[in-house]
A = this chain, B = another copy of it.
Amino acid sequence: MAKNFDKISLKDAPRSELHDALKLTGAEVSINVLPQGASVPFVHSHRKNEEIYGILEGKGYALIDGEKIQLAAGDWLRISPAGARRFFAADDSAVKYVCIQVKAGSLEGYTADDAEIK
* Cα–Cα, bound, A102→B26 (Å): 5
| Contact assessment for A101 and B78 in the assembled complex, using a CB-CB cutoff below 8 Å | no
How far, in Å, is A10 (CB) from chain B's closest CB?
A: 5
In chain A, positions 16-56 with a C-beta closer than 8 Å to chain B are: 17-19, 22-29, 31, 42-50, 52, 54, 56
* Cα–Cα, bound, A49→B116 (Å): 11
New A-B pairs, 6, CB < 8 Å, besides A4-B65, A42-B117, A101-B107:
A4-B82, A22-B77, A29-B76, A44-B116, A47-B115, A48-B108
* Cα–Cα, bound, A102→B75 (Å): 21
Q: Across the interface, which residues of B come within 8 angstroms of A56, CB to CB? A: 56
